[in-house]
Chain A
Amino acid sequence: MPTPTRDTSPSAPDRRDFLRQSGYLAIGFSLLGLESCSGEAGATGSDGTPKQATACPPDTDRIDAWLRVHEDTTVTVLTGKIAIGQGILVALRQIAAEELDLPLDKVKIIMADTGHTPNERYTAGSASIEGSGTAIRRAAATARQQLLERAADELGAAVVDLTVTDGVIGATARGERTYGELVAGKQLTAQVFRDAPRKDPYDYRIVGQPEPRPEILGMVTGRPVDDRDGYVQDMRPPGMVHARVVRPPVYRATLQSFPADGVEALPGVRQIVRDGNFLAVVATDEYAAIRAWQMLRRQSNWEVDQSLPDPANLFNDMPGRVTNSEVVTSAPNAHSDWESATARLEALYTRPYQMHGSIGPSCALAEYRDGQLTVWTHSQGVYPLRDSLAAMLDLSADNIRVIGVRGSGCYGHNGADDVAADAARLALAEPDRPVRVQWMREDEHGWEPYGSAMRLQLRAALDGDNRIVSWVTNLWTDVHSHRPGGDAAELLTAQYLEGGPEAPTEGYLGGGYRNSQPLYRIPNLHIEAHRIEGPLRVSALRSLGAYGNIFAIESFLDELADRAGEDPVAFRLKHLDDERARAVIEEVRQQVEWPVYDAEDGRGWGFAFARYKNEAAYFAVAAEVAYDAETESLRVLRLVGAIDAGQTINPDGLRNQTEGGMIQSASWTTLEEVKWNTNGIVSLDWETYPILRFPEVPEVSVSILDRPGAPPLGAGEAAQGPTAAAIANAVFRATGTRVRDLPITAAKVVG
């Protein structure tokens, strides 16, 4: 087999040395003294010593599932969640350090790894602090209690007479013990006690502080500070080979032929892997893989089994394509109130398909050795992925280990799981070598599962006092989650394998009506969600249907306020009882000195509010936009937000992800729409799917309303919907045009 010569001259450092020194993320945990849990209890490790087998996944009722106390009085926290760029790891460390009375730098963390961490399903829905955070806090509080009891025993003192400072438990005149001495190498395996005494939130010293994220230093220097802090894209284990997958022109197509001889003759190509309609190439180096991929793409023949429908009819066709409907909330009087109302309003809003658009295309590594498959992935759910891979490859889940590694930001279910499945399938074809697959840009744009298009029909009636008396929403949408969840069918790879599963599973409609119920006081509220099977591949995109629903509700609220001749903020407050909701609105109102009607020509402010999922963080926002009639350009100038996420764990992290959500939503709202035609997806790069660039990004600011003692609330998605509506409302104030179809482009303002 031809391989390119790539040996550098003697004057240059040896290539393999480079790999050994700088590029390889260690995958073992010897440094942390952690044994790996695996399916094979009683097996021996490579050095002949028996493996300490712990159950896999660990029993989450036990302390040691969540944290390990080491002899040097450091602690390792284990979380089933993965870092997705929102600073979750430092926040979870803060929670553990706080409850254990340890300095933050003594608390390390390991994220999602089916060889170590608890099974927490997915890192999604802004639920990490509520879920993992709560579990870790309980485990830490129980551990502290246990350590206190041991110390009391050893020191001959009563627990109440003990003090804890930085992991040292002391009793006056009786000496002291460190956590390390107390555990003496043995783990705390007791049951987590739900009601273990926990700190008074008013005494917090670490939680609530804007602790910096240590991994940022590694990001800005290109040198991960910790061996688990690098990107999966940057892993280069010895012996690694590169692969690329050739996707068909449309979702449903059959592979007729491909240029096997030509591709195999290319330098560096190891093999072409063809399995049904799955076509890939493995090469010794990345550029060789890419060249082979290009040739395969150009010269393979596919028979299109089903072309895509004409995009022009997408929204009009929806009511005729309903597969099932769900009444989300029903009000028998909603219809009669409609007839007798003083004022009535009806409006139709739409949201197109939009993409996650990670800057780094999805990437994974997989290695199949001695019957064991190891996969390195930035998937949001390592356990469900493991089970899905087991189903796809007909392997036992016990023989698969899935390790979470940082990736490019994902904002939901992007190509992460699919590329991991690509790598896993190819690892079987290339045993004993790590196989690295990174999707090409057009793969990511064209094959990631998009956020679903939605059609939202709202109507409401006002009484004589301009109060909303009834409200009816009908919404049409595809589902908003097709996560693998343990099945093979949702993995793109599996759908193309010989004898692979055909249709994806049902999916999750619930995400489609997320936040479809306004938080406002409305006596008769009736909401129906209609599922359609849309033409494009879809799954969870940050906030799921909440983005479309809140855009519609909060645009409509402004339209109702206008009809009533009332100020939109006052109109909202008039319908809101929840004090915390009112507080974030008041905060933004003060920040921007609302009402700001008298802006110059073409400029205007808009307002919006929502409580994410009606049970997570509260968020209000005002947007200022400028429309320039001469150049026909529209810009979002400023976004001013306020968030209440309960007790704040890390205010800087909360602010960072909220600012990020606002800017991202401004991009979705003013620019983004997946384009396609009958021959396939057209939005295959950043020119055909533009997103906001630096010069157009609005100024953002966020105030945090901290609630010490209140449960922390998920916040990572709170900004998506309100920001969209605030922009729509601002555009209306600035131009008099009400744009109800996202994205809100300058062309729609003119037209």
Chain B
Amino acid sequence: MSQPIRLRVNGQTHQAELEPEMPLLYFLRNDLALNGPKYGCGVRQCGACMVLLDGKAQPSCVIPVDQAQQHDIETLESFGTPDDPHPLQRAFVEEQAAQCGYCLNGAIVCAQALLAVNPAPSDTEIREALERVLCRCGTHSRIVRAVARAARTQNAD
């Protein structure tokens, strides 16, 4: 049975009648038309659907909207825009760290959560922080380089 749900996404509050157990992913993608979080597996194995929940990277495919109400939700869209990209987004462009790009949402969201607590991570720490994200195109080494680059520019600022 649907019920009123209040969600705070990218700084805005949304109210909707939703099935409480519906995964957050579908609300973000279909009700808010956000493209960052993507469906990959639905069972927290691939990281394509990652969002920040109170600053921590979490798979939105397994978080019911009901539970998400207590948290501050941020998606890739809140980081930056094509005109004004976030340092992480800029670093991915500079490193051309993409093939198909389907995994990049998860990679950037996890990287952001990492840099928030560890501004100068080693390559090993970056790899560990991205463990939950699968990339099938083999873009891993570029992605790690992009995160390291973003850390450097952020620290230089």
Task: Name A's B-contacting residues (CB within 8 A).
Answer: 4-9, 11-13, 15, 18-19, 21-23, 84-87, 212-213, 215-225, 230-231, 233-234, 236, 267, 285-287, 356-361, 406-409, 411, 438, 440-441, 652, 656-657, 659-664, 667, 685-687, 691-695, 697, 699-700
Contacts and interface: CB of A to CB of B under 8 A. Distances in A.
A695 B127 contact: yes
Given A285-B30, A694-B144, A221 B81 contact: yes
A407 B99 CA distance: 11
A408 B102 contact: yes
Contacts of B80: 221
Contacts of B81: 221, 223
Contact of A660 (B89, B104, B139): B139
B142 A656 contact: yes
B48 interface: yes
Contact of B15 (A8, A267, A360, A409): A8
Given A215-B101, A359-B100, A694-B130, 4 more contacts: A13-B12, A360-B100, A661-B138, A694-B135
A457 B127 CA distance: 39
Given A5-B17, A12-B15, A359-B103, A441 B40 contact: yes
Contacts of B137: 85, 409, 660, 664
A429 B121 CA distance: 53
18 contacts: A5-B17, A9-B16, A13-B14, A19-B33, A22-B35, A216-B96, A221-B81, A221-B85, A267-B2, A356-B136, A359-B135, A408-B100, A441-B41, A656-B96, A663-B141, A686-B46, A697-B141, A699-B141
A287 B99 contact: no
Given A660-B137, A697-B140, A360 B40 contact: yes
B120 interface: no
A18 B102 contact: no
Given A85-B99, A694-B133, A223 B77 contact: yes
Interface in B38-87: 38-43, 45-46, 48, 75-77, 79-82, 85
A409 B40 contact: no
A219 B30 contact: no
A476 B143 CA distance: 39
Contacts of A223: 35, 77, 81-82
Nearest to A356: B136
A230 B34 CA distance: 12
A652 B97 CA distance: 11
Contact of A686 (B23, B45, B100, B128): B45
A5 B2 contact: yes
Interface residues of B, number: 70
B141 A222 contact: no
B46 A657 contact: no
B82 A659 contact: no
Given A8-B31, A267-B2, A438-B39, A693 B98 contact: no
Contact of A6 (B23, B31, B48, B96): B31
Given A8-B14, A216-B93, A361-B39, A222 B34 contact: yes
A225 B75 CA distance: 18
Contacts of B141: 659, 663, 697, 699-700
From B36, B38, B101, B133, residue with most partner A Cβ within 10 Å: B101
A86 B99 contact: yes
Contact of B35 (A222, A438, A663, A697): A222
B115 interface: no
Nearest to A222: B36
B154 to A, nearest CB: 16
A700 to B, nearest CB: 5
A652 B133 CA distance: 24
Interface string B92-112: 110011111111110010000
A694 B14 contact: no
Nearest to B110: A694
Nearest to A436: B30
Contacts of A230: 35
A667 B26 CA distance: 31
B17 A4 contact: yes
A656 B131 contact: no
A-B pairs, 10 with minimum CB distance? A663-B138, A85-B100, A409-B100, A660-B138, A219-B101, A222-B36, A23-B33, A9-B15, A85-B99, A408-B102
Contact of A287 (B22, B97, B128): B22
B100 A234 contact: no
Contact of A221 (B33, B79, B124, B136): B79
A9 B16 CA distance: 6
A126 to B, nearest CB: 14
A7 B30 contact: no
Contacts of A356: 136
A22 B26 CA distance: 16
Given A287-B26, A663-B141, A219 B134 contact: no
A231 B104 CA distance: 13
Given A233-B39, A234-B35, A407-B100, A221 B138 contact: no
B75 to A, nearest CB: 7
Given A213-B98, A441-B42, A659-B142, A222 B77 contact: yes
A438 to B, nearest CB: 6
Given A12-B15, A407-B100, A357 B136 contact: yes
Contact of A361 (B32, B40, B130, B144): B40
Contacts of A406: 100
A286 B37 CA distance: 15
Nearest to B43: A685
A681 B137 CA distance: 24
B101 A4 contact: no
Contacts of B96: 212-213, 216, 652, 656
A290 to B, nearest CB: 8
Contacts of B144: 694
A663 B139 CA distance: 8
B2 to A, nearest CB: 5
Nearest to B134: A359
Contacts of B12: 12-13
A19 B92 CA distance: 27
B54 to A, nearest CB: 20
A297 B44 CA distance: 21
From A652, A662, A664, A687, residue with most partner B Cβ within 10 Å: A664
Nearest to A211: B96
A411 B136 contact: yes
Nearest to A16: B33
Nearest to A8: B16
From B22, B96, B142, residue with most partner A Cβ within 10 Å: B96
B23 A287 contact: yes
Nearest to B129: A694
A287 B136 contact: no
B18 interface: yes
Contact of B17 (A7, A23, A224, A686): A7
A217 B101 CA distance: 10
B127 A359 contact: no
Given A223-B77, A408-B102, A660-B139, A359 B14 contact: no
A657 B99 contact: yes
B38 A360 contact: yes
Given A212-B93, A220-B98, A267-B2, A685 B41 contact: yes
B48 A4 contact: no
B13 interface: yes
Nearest to B79: A221
Contacts of A660: 99, 137-139
Contacts of B36: 222
